[in-house]
Structure 1
Amino acid sequence: MDWIPCPCWGTNGHDENAGEVADRDPVLLVSGIGGSILHSKKKDSKSQIRVWVRIFLANLAFKQSVWSLYNPKTGYTEPLDENIEIVIPGDDHGLYAIDILDPSWFVKLFHLTEVYHFHDMIEMLVGCGYKKGTTLFGYGYDFRQSNRIDLLILGLKKKLETAYKCSGGRKITIISHSMGGLMVSCFMCLHPEAFSKYVSKWITIATPFQGAPGCINDSLLTGVQFVEGLESFFFVSRWTMHQLLVECPSIYEMMGNPNFKWKKQPEIRVWRKKISENDDDTSAELESFGLIESIDLFNSALKNNEV
């Protein structure tokens, strides 16, 4: 295989173009689910506190500010406290919100890399000569919301416009991760003219275009644990996260596509106690649910969900 030099390097391996903005198309990094810092603020106040991600008092802050209820009339999932709003910090040209998700001294001191999201890629691109605010930008967003909602789609459009102008009218390379790729796909369908005008290339990493049935099904039924071991005691618990996920439209948008020709058809297997007239009978049977049948299972499991 032929050796291909890094596009920001000269053939001698040195960064010949560092600082020369005109030789680089701008890059926009788009995070996936859980990949953006979220701040909480009272609507009548300017002060903000970080509620995702944080290590200390993580569970308490999460319940108070990030727990939400889906409003079918508006299409948004809304905070339980109507006086609270969730905002995404725009510092560092959008890169701060997707870099180290808990930028506290504690995390940096002990180098807890679980919350280092786009950090390594940002450092690599800066090392290759990309300049924040001129050729390097980030887009964090409220990942609880639908990927098709105006709040996210119009925010992405505005970020692309900014990157296009700040780079001198050069088209943008988008690098998205996971669910961020679904949002870019929605943007491309809803605003094809803007996508053609502003975007040159789109690179997406681990995007579940046909859904992620294993991960999503498990998350909807049992929650999700981001951190294992001793560190989990300082983080958001599985069931606290579960209460959030069942009210997030973005989660349901990643359920498995029933029309896709899966190599192995996804299914959920659930052990259920047999119904019998004999109360002493404790036997159980294993039931299987396909992608369509699992919808009834979710309806049954989640119908009485309440905070």
Structure 2
Amino acid sequence: MALLEELIRAIELWLRIVKKQEYVVNPYLDPVLLVPGITGSILHAVDEEGKKTERVWIRILGADHEFRTKLWSRFDPSTGKSVSLDDKTRIVVPEDRYGLYAIDTLDPDMVVGSDCVGYYHDMIVEMIKWGYQEGSTLFGFGYDFRQSNRLKDTMEKFQEKLETAYNSAGERKLTVITHSMGGLLLKCFMSLHNDIFEKYVKRWIAIAAPFQGAPGYITTSLLNGMSFVDGWEANFFISKWSMQQLLIECPSIYELMASPDFDWHDIPVLQMWRQRVDNSGQSSSLLESYGPKEAIPLMAQALSNNKVSCGGTQLAFPLNKDILKWAEETREIMSHAKLPDSVEFYNIYGIDVDTAHSVWLEYFYSLYLFS
């Protein structure tokens, strides 16, 4: 197994050397900060003595075992933080390449089929061709996506990243590009630290941001788990059940639930078939629909007996009411967010289709050409 890992890394290094190409740097470009969505950051596990660091998200070899051992967590309502069940493990986000490493290709060791773990990779490559330079005009912000979008630690690190990018670019304001849940993180920061946001940000481009929630995606994830890859790659990845157990204790997921107070054009519903038996003993099936508020008790009932085994102990993992309360407070904070007059805002989204990388690459390129 160790020999195989060394071989993969050797091939990957060789490919990088072959593909390496120098591009002309344009020092006059406004700095850009890329912020990913949920699961879009590499996570490392560090042991309690700090002697061993290993990537636990994303990896191929031993992926599911390491995921359960290192990333499964419990929500602490006193701090609002999800803490790993393994108390000997600390989860960190690597800061290599000015934050870009963590959001580029999520498994840098993967050679065959690497497209399935590429995140901002294509965009980073294109922007470097346009004249952007890592650490001068191009930065990334990876974060522990298990945590709340308004977690104090995350907000402080984001402020540090804004300051670093601003100063490194000669005190020029930033264009911040967020994808999916990254838009909620930025909205939380804008609400909680509006003056700092205005000081450092010139333009915000939100791509597929679920500002009112992602009801279908989140309901399915909490009840059935989340799958990221199809085909043969799935054999080396995280099982849907393992992912489900992580998400049940993640504040970020609950913050993506449908906003119950939003005036929806089409109200998101949870639908299920129920069997009915009439007085004559005849059975029939009835399709029932539940809105955002009505669906929560149903989900709680479905997960009431959910358990996981950790260290030989059975732990109850039902729908977490403490996280539901925390998420409600997060939505309240975001409802007071106000975009400063000096900041340009672009909201890019699609309807019933995935947001293709080519769409946001071309859109951002148009901003680059005409700004």
Question: Is TM-score (shorter-chain normalized) higher than 0.5?
Answer: yes
Number of residues of Structure 1 aligned to a counterpart in Structure 2: 286
Point out where structure 1 has 5 or more consecutive residues left out of the alignment: 1-16
Match of 1:182 among 166, 181, 184: 184
Matched letter for residue 256 of structure 1: A
Q: What is the Cα deviation at residue 301 of structure 1?
A: 2.0
Alpha-carbon distance, 1:72 to partner: 1.3
Report the Cα offset of residue 297 of structure 1.
1.2
Give a deviation string over 1:173-197, Cα, whole Å, max 9, x none: 1001000010000000000111011
- Is there any run of 5+ residues in structure 2 with no aligned partner, and where? 1-22, 309-371
CA separation of 1:171 and 1:289: change in aligned 2, threshold 3 A: same
Q: TM-score, normalised by structure 1?
A: 0.89
Question: 2:300 — aligned with what?
Answer: 299
1:115-264 matches, within 5 Å, as: 115-264=117-266
Residue 66 of structure 1 corresponds to which residue in structure 2? 71
* In 2, Cα distance between equivalents of 1:63 and 1:24: 43
The answer to whether the Cα contact below 8 Å between 2:277 and 2:284 also exists between their aligned partners in 1 is no
Which amino acid letter does the alignment assign opposite residue 74 of structure 1? T
Structure-2 separation of matches of 1:129 and 1:118? 17
Equivalent AA in structure 2 for residue 289 of structure 1 = Y
Q: Distance in 1 between matches of 2:78 and 2:305?
A: 20
Task: Look up the match of 1:43.
Answer: 48
Alignment counterpart, residue 83 of structure 1, candidates 72, 85, 88 = 88
- Mapped to 2, the partners of 1:236 and 1:126 lie a distance apart of 32
CA deviation after TM superposition for structure 1 residue 123, in Å = 0.5
Letter paired with 1:136: L
Q: Which amino acid aligns with 2:162?
A: L
What is the aligned partner in structure 2 of residue 98 from structure 1? 103
Q: Percent identity?
A: 50
What code does the residue aligned with 1:295 have?
Answer: I
Provide Cα deviations, 1:256-282, integer angstroms capped at 9, x if missing partner: 11222222111001223447899x987
Shift of 1:159: 0.4
1:126 match: secondary structure: helix
Could you give the per-residue CA deviations for residues 53-110 of structure 1, whole angstroms, max 9, x where no partner exists? 1112111110010111111121111100111110000000000000000000xx22x1
RMSD over equivalenced CA pairs, Å:
1.8
Residue deviations 1:112-138, cap 9 Å, x none?
201000000000111111110011000
Normalised to the residue count of structure 2, the TM-score between the two structures is 0.74
The runs of at least 4 aligned residues of structure 1 exceeding 4 Å deviation read 273-278, 280-284
The AA in structure 1 aligned to 2:261 is N
* 1:37 shift after superposition: 0.2
**Structure 1 residues 277 and 85, CA, compared in 2 at 3 Å: closer, same or farther?**
farther
Show the counterpart of 1:8: none
Q: Does 1:32 align with 2:37?
A: yes
In 2, Cα distance between equivalents of 1:52 and 1:62: 7
SS at match of 1:127: helix
User: d(CA) in 1 for partners of 2:77 and 2:68?
Assistant: 21
Higher helix share: 2
Aligned residue in 2 for 1:14: none
